[in-house]
Amino acid sequence: MKIVDSDYFVVGSGMSGLMSALHLAAYGKVTLVTKGRLKDCNTNFAQGGICCVMDPADTFDRHARDTMIAGAWLGKTEIVHEICEHAPEGIQDLIDCGVKFAKRKDGSWDLTREGGHSARRIFHAGDITGEKCEAAMIRKIRKSSVDVREDTIVIDLVMTRRIGLKGENRCIGAYVMDKASGEIYAIRSPNTILATGGCGKVYLYTCNPDTATGDGIALAWRAGAKIENMEFIQFHPTCLYHPQAKRFLISEAVRGEGAELVNKYGRPFMQKYDPRGSLAPRDIVARSIDSEMKRTGDDCMFLDIRKKGRAYLINRFPNIYHKCMEFGIDMAKDLIPIVPAAHYTCGGIQATTDGRTSIKGLSAVGECASTGLHGANRLASNSLMEALVCARMTASRLGPHPERWGTGNGERGTGNRERGTGMPDIPAWRIGNAVPPDEAVLVSHMWDEIRRLMWDYVGIVRTNKRLARAAHRIKTLRREIREYYFRYLVTPDTLELRNLAVCAELIVRCALKRHESRGLHYTLDYPRQSKRIRQTVIEGFRG
C-alpha cells in the first residue's frame, strides 16, 4: 500500500482547512485532502459575512457579550473574548489572500449588522462573501507548496493502538480513498488537522451542501476523541421548499421588509406563537413553522410578500426574485413555499482555540470543532470568524512546535525531525471477504431513513419520547450499516452514511442528556432553562 508522508495533514478545503494549510506551509510539507473539488464546502455558500470589531464606536466586550447572549450563556467567556479579539488578524489574512471586502464611498469598511449584534461589525463582499473568500484562498493555495488532493475522502484515522502499538494512543494519519480510481492508501503524519465542517445533511431539510455529512466528527469519535454539545443544531427558518432548489435561503430581510408567514390558505399564523408575529426571533419563527407543519401535516409553510409589488421586489431582492422565478415562483403573485432547514452544527469535537483535541496528534478547526465560542446558539457570522482565528492559532501552535513521533509515552522510534522517518509502518487496508456492492439502494434507503427520522424526532421541538424512538431506530440502523460496511467494498456513499449515522446518534445522546431547554435545544419535557451551566460531553468510542 502506498504511504504518503507529510509534516502536516489537513482534511477539508473550507475556510478552516485552506487557512490552516496556508499558514502551515511556511513550516513544512503540508498535504491537504478534500472529498470533492476544493470549492465544495459550506464556506462557499456563506452569504452574510464575517464578524470583526472595527468601528471605533464598537468594542470587543460588546461583541463578546452579544455572543454570550446568543449562546444562552453556555459559551465559555474567556474563549469568546479570545476569539473576538483575534478577529482583525483573521480578516487581514483574507485581505492578504486578495479578498476585497465592501467599502463605503469614503473608503471606510462597509460594515453591516445582523440579528443579535448590537453594532455594525460584519465584513462582507456583497451577498456572496463565502464564494469570494473561497476563490481567493484557492488561488493562493494553488500557487503555494501545499500538496492538494481533490476527490480524496478520508476513510478512518490511523490510531496507534488500533494498529497494535503500545504506549499512548495517538493519531498518525489516515486511510484515504482516491474517489476516481478507488485506490486506498495512507497519509502518514504526526500532525493531522480535521477541518471537515458540520453535519447538516443529517436532517431531511438543510441548506448545507452534500459535503456536510459530519465525517470529521465521526472519525474523531471513532478514534476516541471527546465530542460535545451536539444537541445544538441551528435551523434557518426559511429555506426555499422546492425539489430542485437545494439549500436556497430566503433571507430574513424579506420578513424584515414586511413578508408574513402564512399557511397554504394564505392565513397568517405567527401571532398565536409570539406577539411580534413574523418578526419574532429566528428560533421562535423556526419552532412555530415546525409546529404548524407537524399540526397540519403539511410539507411546508409560506412567505407572503405580494403586497410589495414587482418593481420593489426586483429592486430590493434581485437575487431571491430571480432564483424564485427560475423555479416558477413569482414573488409578486405567488406565496413562497418555505421550510426550516438545518444550518449550523454548534457542537462537535472538543477542541481548544489552537485546535488541540483530547487525542494526541489530532487537531480540529472550524465547524467540526467545539471550542466554546457558540454555546447553545451561534451568533450570526461568528462561524467564519472562528474558522479564521482558530486556523491561525492552530498553525501558530503546530508550526514552530509540531508533534513528533518518539516524544510520547513508550513510543519507539528515532523521533528524527526528517519527514516520516522513525514513524511506524501503517498496515495495508484490509478488505477481508468484502465484495463489490450490488445493492446501492440499501444505502440510499438507510440514508433517507436517518434524515427523515432526525427531522421528525430530533428536529426543532423535541420530547423524551421522540428522542427515545430515534435512539432505538438509530441503534438498529447503525448495526445494519456496520454489517453492510464489512460485507461490501467501501464506497464514498457508504463512508458518508456510516458517518452520518454516528452524528445522528451523537446528537440524540447529547439531547437526551440535557434536561432543560436552552438555546437551540428545545424540549417539551423540560421547557425551562436550568440554573446550572453544563456542557454535554460524550466520550470517544473505546472499541
Ligand X SMILES: Cc1cc2nc3c(=O)[nH]c(=O)nc-3n(C[C@H](O)[C@H](O)[C@H](O)COP(=O)(O)OP(=O)(O)OC[C@H]3O[C@@H](n4cnc5c(N)ncnc54)[C@H](O)[C@@H]3O)c2cc1C
Q: Does 195 bind ligand X (CB under 6 A)?
A: yes
Q: Which residue has the CB atom at the shortest distance from ligand X?
A: 14
Report the distance separating Cα 138 and Cα 64, nearest Å: 31
Report the distance separating Cα 139 and Cα 152, nearest Å: 20
Q: Which is nearer to ligand X, 249 or 512 (CB)?
A: 249
Tell me which H or E stretch contains 238. Answer: strand 233-240
Q: Does 370 bind ligand X (CB under 6 A)?
A: no
Touching ligand X, residues 329-358 (CB under 6 A): 344
Q: Which is nearer to ligand X, 408 or 519 (CB)?
A: 519
Q: Does 494 bind ligand X (CB under 6 A)?
A: no
Q: Which is nearer to ligand X, 40 or 228 (CB)?
A: 40
Q: Does 154 bind ligand X (CB under 6 A)?
A: yes
In contact, 539 and 225? CB cutoff 8 Å: no
Q: Which residues are catalytic?
A: 282
Closest distance of CB 339 from ligand X, Å: 14
Closest distance of CB 249 from ligand X, Å: 6
Site stretch for ligand X (CB under 6 A), options 277-285, 380-388, 471-479, 509-517: 380-388
In contact, 495 and 156? CB cutoff 8 Å: no
Half-sphere exposure for 519 (CA within 13 Å, toward CB)? 31
- Closest Cα to residue 462, out of 510, 505, 503, 511? 511
Contact with ligand X (CB under 6 A) among 22, 32, 33, 285: 33
Report the distance separating Cα 356 and Cα 343, nearest Å: 25
Q: Which is nearer to ligand X, 381 or 494 (CB)?
A: 381
Q: Decide the pairing of beta strands 233-240 and 336-345.
A: antiparallel
Report the distance separating Cα 302 and Cα 322, nearest Å: 18
How many residues form the binding site for ligand X (CB under 6 A)? 43
Cell numbers describing residue 53: 470589531
In contact, 526 and 516? CB cutoff 8 Å: yes
Contact with ligand X (CB under 6 A) among 68, 158, 207, 336: 207
Q: Does 17 bind ligand X (CB under 6 A)?
A: yes
Site stretch for ligand X (CB under 6 A), options 72-80, 383-391, 405-413, 467-475: 383-391
Distance of CA 439 to the CA centre of its chain: 30
- Residue ranges of alpha helices (H) inside 399-521 are 440-457, 464-487, 492-513
Q: Which is nearer to ligand X, 33 or 230 (CB)?
A: 33
Contact with ligand X (CB under 6 A) among 3, 27, 28, 47: 47
Report the distance separating Cα 404 and Cα 170, nearest Å: 11
- Closest Cα to residue 507, out of 447, 456, 467? 467
Touching ligand X, residues 228-257 (CB under 6 A): 247, 249
Q: Which is nearer to ligand X, 223 or 470 (CB)?
A: 223
Report the distance separating Cα 53 and Cα 111, nearest Å: 9
Q: Position 357: which residue type?
A: T
Contact with ligand X (CB under 6 A) among 6, 31, 42, 523: 42
In contact, 304 and 260? CB cutoff 8 Å: yes
Site stretch for ligand X (CB under 6 A), options 10-18, 422-430, 478-486, 514-522: 10-18
Helices (H) and strands (E) in the chain, counts: 13, 19
Closest distance of CB 21 from ligand X, Å: 11
Q: Which is nearer to ligand X, 187 or 280 (CB)?
A: 187
Q: Which residues bind ligand X (CB under 6 A)?
A: 11-17, 33-36, 40-43, 45-50, 129-130, 153-154, 195-197, 207-208, 211-212, 215-216, 247, 249, 344, 366-367, 381, 383-384, 387
